[in-house]
Structure 1
Amino acid sequence: MVLLFSTDPDGICHIETSGLDGESNLKQRQVVRGYTEQDSEVDPEKFSSRIECESPNNDLNRFRGFLEHSNRERVGLSKENLLLRGCTIRNTEAVMGIVVYAGHETKAMLNNSGPRYKRSNLERRANTDVLCCVLLLIIMCLTGALGHGIWLSRYENIPFFNIPEPDGHVISPVLGGFYMFWTMIILLQVLIPISLYVSIEIVKLGQIYFIQSDVDFYNEKMDSTVQCRALNITEDLGQIQYLFSDKTGTLTENKMVFRRCSVAGFDYCHEENGECWVSMKTSLKIGRFCTHLMTW
């Protein structure tokens, strides 16, 4: 929706887009230039301007277009003038605007492609290997069928192994090659490792059992061990090299505890929350004293 009116005297609207991009900080949106000076609400029946904008897309940070007034004056539109579906208005009593995207053309709907299935590296590698095996099987069967058809076509007379049908009709080389293709499919189907997926799932169950039974993961306060809620998580645990986190509450358990502070080189610690460290000056004095003794 293009913002045309806001109860804020500066024509500003504050919105929260945590439902779209996960950011909880407030963002500002500005009324379209030319409507900021209006003191009253926009009357939809008297709206005579024309809006032309880009086609619907899923980019939340881009919006291009212009608004053409009745006097042919054009005003540029950007993302600062757009209120997205799914955002929440904050610190603003009321706003008014005109809808430019609706239904399945909104950016929120275009970004909602459904849940994405997460595949592990091992599963992706197994799928690639199985596809290679299928392609190899098709190539081998096509080669065998083509060779069988060419071999039958070289016989001038009916070969003894080519048994005719009850009505006396003999199978043509093309039809014989077609039958040979499916015959080789049946014979060489063991090339595709169908049981590989079953074996991988059994191994995953065993890994999860050992992880949940590990005593080192036992939490005395919660009286519980680690819980694996996904089978494919065990495959990528051993490949983790870096761990990034932007939520400090996850690491600090939402607790801010005073442990110690340093004033003029001396550490003042809390007896219950932190262990006292030897001050920097004291450490330097001890180091110098030990060095002096060693020189003697």
Structure 2
Amino acid sequence: MVFLRTTETNGACFIRTDQLDGETDWKLRLAVPATQKLDSNEELFSMDATVYAEKPQKDIHNFIGNFAKHDTETEESLGVENTVWAGTVVASGRLLGLVVYTGAETRSVMNNAAPRSKIGLLDLEINNLTKLLFLAVLGLTLVMMCLKGFGGPWYRYFFRFLLLFSYIIPISICLLSFLETFSFVILELAFVKLSFVSVNKHTLAITNRLVASPKCWFKKTPN
């Protein structure tokens, strides 16, 4: 949004951008001088002016634009200090602006990256080793087919050799990753169970002390 007017007399206001870039300090934004000098907000609707804005991009620290007022033939350049991005919060005063980017064109949406799945180093090494072994199996199969020849139903022999050499890829490689994940889950569950038992024993000890505490005797008063 291009910052046109504000309720502050100096034509400036502060915004918070912590939800956009994570910075907690306030940013200074300046209204366009030609529109800030107007007597009321209603004069904006009768103004003959044009705003030029650059194409949407991810960079939230740069902006190139232009504001042209045709009746007085005044032209002013616009920078990032004259903009208020979506996702920011106005910290001082109130402002009025012209929306130039909406939906998927806003900086906040364009900077949202798709979440990536995390893969451990062991899984990556196992995948690379499996690929190398598969290439070795495929190479041995081609060598055996070249020695036998491609006459007749060669595709049957190709799959036979491929099935024969497939035992080069041990199933233990796949089981290793599964056992690693399974053992981690078991250890986590055991730790949670031990913590729960220790809490229960502590609670039981407190309860036993309360039960074993001496009783209070009340003295009977005469009527």
State TM-score, norm by structure 2.
Answer: 0.71
Task: Check the 8 A contact 1:148/1:177 in 2, yes or no.
Answer: no
Letter aligned with residue 30 of structure 1: L
Q: 1:135 aligns with which of 113, 131, 152?
A: 131
Report 1:113-262 matches (<5 A): 113-117=113-117, 119=118, 123-153=119-149, 170-172=152-154, 175-176=155-156, 178-180=158-160, 182-184=162-164, 186-190=166-170, 193-208=173-188, 213=194
Letter aligned with residue 82 of structure 2: N
Query: How far apart, CA to CA, are the structure 1 residues paired with 2:89 and 2:156?
Result: 70
Task: Check the 8 A contact 1:16/1:24 in 2, yes or no.
Answer: yes
Q: Could you say if the C-alpha distance between residues 45 and 134 of structure 1 is closer, same or farther in structure 2, counting changes exceeding 3 Å?
A: farther
Query: How far apart, CA to CA, are the structure 1 residues paired with 2:164 and 2:64?
Result: 59
Query: How far apart, CA to CA, are the structure 2 residues paired with 1:132 and 1:12?
Result: 57
- Per the TM alignment, residue 80 of structure 1 is displaced from its structure 2 partner at its CA by 1.1
2:18 maps to what in 1?
18
Query: How far apart, CA to CA, are the structure 2 residues paired with 1:11 and 1:44?
Result: 19
What count of residue pairs does the alignment treat as equivalent?
Answer: 196
Report 1:57-96 matches (<5 A): 57-70=57-70, 74-92=75-93, 94-96=94-96
- Per the TM alignment, residue 181 of structure 1 is displaced from its structure 2 partner at its CA by 6.2
> What are structure 1's unaligned runs of at least 5 residues?
159-169, 224-296
- Per the TM alignment, residue 143 of structure 1 is displaced from its structure 2 partner at its CA by 0.6
Q: Could you say if the C-alpha distance between residues 139 and 181 of structure 1 is closer, same or farther in structure 2, counting changes exceeding 3 Å?
A: farther
1:39 maps to what in 2?
39
- Per the TM alignment, residue 184 of structure 1 is displaced from its structure 2 partner at its CA by 4.8
Q: Could you say if the C-alpha distance between residues 185 and 64 of structure 1 is closer, same or farther in structure 2, counting changes exceeding 3 Å?
A: farther
> What are structure 2's unaligned runs of at least 5 residues?
204-223
Q: Could you say if the C-alpha distance between residues 32 and 134 of structure 1 is closer, same or farther in structure 2, counting changes exceeding 3 Å?
A: farther
Task: Check the 8 A contact 2:138/2:162 in 1, yes or no.
Answer: no
- Per the TM alignment, residue 198 of structure 1 is displaced from its structure 2 partner at its CA by 2.0
Q: Could you say if the C-alpha distance between residues 176 and 148 of structure 1 is closer, same or farther in structure 2, counting changes exceeding 3 Å?
A: farther
- Per the TM alignment, residue 60 of structure 1 is displaced from its structure 2 partner at its CA by 2.6
1:30 maps to what in 2?
30
Q: Could you say if the C-alpha distance between residues 176 and 68 of structure 1 is closer, same or farther in structure 2, counting changes exceeding 3 Å?
A: farther
- Per the TM alignment, residue 34 of structure 1 is displaced from its structure 2 partner at its CA by 2.9
Q: State the identity %.
A: 22
Higher relative contact order (Cα pairs below 8 Å, separated by 6+ residues): 2
Letter aligned with residue 51 of structure 1: Y
Q: Could you say if the C-alpha distance between residues 188 and 65 of structure 1 is closer, same or farther in structure 2, counting changes exceeding 3 Å?
A: farther
CA RMSD, Structure 1 to Structure 2 (Å): 3.2
User: Residue 205 of structure 1: SS of its match in structure 2?
Assistant: helix
State TM-score, norm by structure 1.
Answer: 0.55
Task: Check the 8 A contact 2:2/2:84 in 1, yes or no.
Answer: yes
Q: Could you say if the C-alpha distance between residues 209 and 45 of structure 1 is closer, same or farther in structure 2, counting changes exceeding 3 Å?
A: same
